[in-house]
Amino acid sequence: MKKETDILSFDYLVIGSGLAGLSAALKLAESGTVAVVSKREVQESNTKYAQGGIACVIDNKDTFEEHISDTINAGGTLCDKTIVRKIVENGPDAIYKLIQYGAKFTTRGDMGEVGPHKDDFDLGREGGHTKRRVLHAGDITGEEIEHTLVESCKTEKNIKIFEYHIAVDLITSEHLGWDSKNYALGAYVLDIKNNKIKTYISSATIVATGGAGKVYLYSSNPDVSCGGGIAMCYRANVPIANMEFYQFHPTILFHPEVKSFLISEAVRGEGAVLKRRDKNDRLISFMDNYHELASLAPRDVVARAIDNEMKKNGDDCVFLDIRNKDEEFLKKRFPNIFAKCLEYGINMAKDLIPVVPAAHYSCGGVKTDINGFTGINGLYALGECASTGLHGANRLASNSLLEALVTANSAAIDIIEKSKNIKENKLSGKIPEWSCGDATNSDELVVIAHNWDEIRHFMWDYVGIVRTTKRLERAKTRIKNIRKEIEKYYWDFLITPDLIELRNIASVAEIIIDSAISRKESRGLHFNSDYPKTDTKLNQIDTVIVLNTKYNH
């Protein structure tokens, strides 16, 4: 690795290039220069893979109160009601801003309707929603949004995008020993193609790195989802909340040649029913035994029900049955899913779709307020890596894009306002260059790959949909050993993207395990069969994990 460090100064630094990061960048660009750092190509983010859409009260037959109540019913007593209200009520304005940038959502006319309502948005339904309120762009909503924002950012002269740049650590005044009042100064970032560490200096830093699905063996997430933002904030001493609530999506396509392909919950919203085969090969729908909303029950209930049916009956998968809809409708409403299934010999209009649950969304994350503020001056976390209090113990489907959009806007406003005061006192000393070991030992690279695999396997087996205290304790022992090993390699060997991601994944795994161990009850997405019932005494208590030893770089 080259030792020299580039130093780059911007007014604002955004780490992550999904909906939260890019929409914040666009707003911040009205007031100053913005660096957007992206691990791969700028469009590669969790946002791009969102299929369902954005939940928002657009229809005049729907109300804010109903959306608020559905959110709280799904998330249980851990939702912060003030935050839920703010995000739901700010939804329509945020959506219109996205439309102004150029995002196009499917209308009823697009679905073949003629007449006075043809220009109204076609609204989808998903689990836990009592109304149709999900705006979508076919079944590639995320791609449409991501594309729109990327194009807008590319034409904005105040925004510079750095692709193939992966953040290593945040820089704070506390970690430099500068000041008793902690504030963020930027980040050390590895320029992957040139193999050198750059120092980004900024008056405010936004962490918008998405989720951490890769911590589990099976996930709907793209490879970039390694929990980098959560791990970096943790190392910078920001509290991390509610990480035991990892959401498992009930329906990922089960096929030996397909990795991580989601069958959107919107398919159930259009009438698909979950079924399994009995001993005599008869198809049985089973969700009525678990919830009054059957296949459209909240996600925690559906994922646990599928897990239970598969384990009880020794099945490899269950099935989605949407053969009650005709082919033309399915092609129009789910063009991407229809085409993908067909590629693997499944015609949704004629065949059952084999599905299994997989890790999908982190409901916990970096603890923030409605503006994404972390409590450290100049440091913000947005989108999936943040925990505002909206999701509580279980996220309502399609609420996450809404949260990212609303909080990105309020974060940018807050940052611009506060930056006016903190700009002058920021750089009261010289920021040291990044230093690390420079040993290389290709024999030892196998350790990195092995540790990756080991974490993802035991997280799936011991910290998955249904947990026990004994299995959580086992996972804790293993992660402690791996973390020790990683810290050794981290300091002795050259930094590579794999090592950075492994270090982050290991931290996030440990935080999930610690959070799960400390919750002595079953609630929402956290189900521990040693505590089958929610303990009402623990009502309203978030799990908060804070770094106990200061990080030492």
Residues designated catalytic: 299
Calpha distance 104→149 (Å, rounded): 12
Nearer to ligand SIN, 86 or 136 (CB): 136
Nearer to ligand SIN, 149 or 159 (CB): 149
Nearer to ligand SIN, 144 or 521 (CB): 144
Calpha distance 379→372 (Å, rounded): 8
Element (H, E) at 134: strand 134-135
Strands 204-207 and 379-381: parallel
Smallest distance from the beta carbon of 441 to ligand SIN, in angstroms? 41
Decide if residue 47 touches ligand SIN (CB under 6 A). Answer: no
Nearer to ligand SIN, 306 or 412 (CB): 306
Q: Which range binds ligand SIN by CB under 6 A, 5-13, 395-403, 419-427, 502-510?
A: 395-403
Element (H, E) at 516: helix 497-518
Q: Which range binds ligand SIN by CB under 6 A, 260-268, 323-331, 332-340, 512-520?
A: 260-268
Nearer to ligand SIN, 303 or 412 (CB): 303
Enter the DSSP assignment of 421: H
Smallest distance from the beta carbon of 100 to ligand SIN, in angstroms? 23
Alpha carbons within 13 angstroms on the beta-carbon side of residue 518 total 17
β-strand partners of 124: 134
Decide if residue 265 touches ligand SIN (CB under 6 A). Answer: yes
Chain residue whose CB lies nearest ligand SIN: 52
Decide if residue 330 touches ligand SIN (CB under 6 A). Answer: no
Query: Which of these, 486, 476, 481, lies nearest to 449 by C-alpha position?
Result: 486
Nearer to ligand SIN, 24 or 397 (CB): 397
Calpha distance 158→26 (Å, rounded): 9
Nearer to ligand SIN, 14 or 262 (CB): 262
Interface residue with ligand SIN, options 16, 21, 52, 392 (CB under 6 A)? 52
Smallest distance from the beta carbon of 300 to ligand SIN, in angstroms? 13
Nearer to ligand SIN, 264 or 507 (CB): 264
Instruction: For residue 89, report the phi and psi dihedrals to the nearest 5 degrees.
Output: -70, -25
Angle (CA) 455 461 464, round 5°: 95
DSSP, collapsed to helix, strand or coil, labels residue 156 as coil
DSSP, collapsed to helix, strand or coil, labels residue 540 as coil
Smallest distance from the beta carbon of 363 to ligand SIN, in angstroms? 11
Decide if residue 400 touches ligand SIN (CB under 6 A). Answer: yes
Report helix angle 81-101 to 19-28, nearest 10: 70
Decide if residue 264 touches ligand SIN (CB under 6 A). Answer: yes
Site for ligand SIN in 158-197 (CB under 6 A): none
Say if residues 145 and 401 touch (Cβ distance below 8 Å).
Answer: yes
Site string for ligand SIN, 340-369 (x = CB under 6 A): ---------------------x--------
Strands 2-9 and 196-201: parallel
Decide if residue 397 touches ligand SIN (CB under 6 A). Answer: yes
As to burial, measured by CB atoms within 10 angstroms (0-12 exposed, 13-18 middle, 19+ buried), residue 420 is: exposed
Calpha distance 101→491 (Å, rounded): 44
Q: How many residues bind ligand SIN (CB under 6 A)?
A: 10
Calpha distance 145→97 (Å, rounded): 12
Interface residue with ligand SIN, options 368, 387, 398, 407 (CB under 6 A)? 398
Decide if residue 70 touches ligand SIN (CB under 6 A). Answer: no
Q: Which range binds ligand SIN by CB under 6 A, 105-113, 146-154, 394-402, 483-491?
A: 394-402
Q: Which range binds ligand SIN by CB under 6 A, 28-36, 261-269, 342-350, 469-477?
A: 261-269
Decide if residue 266 touches ligand SIN (CB under 6 A). Answer: yes
DSSP, collapsed to helix, strand or coil, labels residue 523 as strand
Smallest distance from the beta carbon of 265 to ligand SIN, in angstroms? 3
Query: Which of these, 386, 411, 371, lies nearest to 34 by C-alpha position?
Result: 411
Q: Which range binds ligand SIN by CB under 6 A, 94-102, 232-240, 307-315, 397-405?
A: 397-405
What are the helix (H) ranges across 33-105?
Answer: 64-75, 81-101
Calpha distance 106→104 (Å, rounded): 7
Say if residues 404 and 416 touch (Cβ distance below 8 Å).
Answer: no
Q: Where are the beta strands (DSSP E) in 423-545?
A: 544-545
Instruction: For residue 15, report the phi and psi dihedrals to the nearest 5 degrees.
Output: -100, 110
Nearer to ligand SIN, 175 or 360 (CB): 360
Smallest distance from the beta carbon of 263 to ligand SIN, in angstroms? 8
Enter the DSSP assignment of 522: -
Six-digit token string for 508: 């996030």
Smallest distance from the beta carbon of 124 to ligand SIN, in angstroms? 9
β-strand partners of 358: 249
Q: Which range binds ligand SIN by CB under 6 A, 68-76, 262-270, 338-346, 428-436?
A: 262-270
Interface residue with ligand SIN, options 38, 51, 388, 407 (CB under 6 A)? 51
Nearer to ligand SIN, 76 or 142 (CB): 142
Smallest distance from the beta carbon of 358 to ligand SIN, in angstroms? 12
Smallest distance from the beta carbon of 56 to ligand SIN, in angstroms? 13
Calpha distance 231→71 (Å, rounded): 27
Q: Which range binds ligand SIN by CB under 6 A, 258-266, 309-317, 339-347, 484-492?
A: 258-266
Calpha distance 342→267 (Å, rounded): 15
Smallest distance from the beta carbon of 247 to ligand SIN, in angstroms? 8
Q: Write out the residues near ligand SIN by the rule CB under 6 A.
A: 51-52, 262, 264-266, 361, 397-398, 400
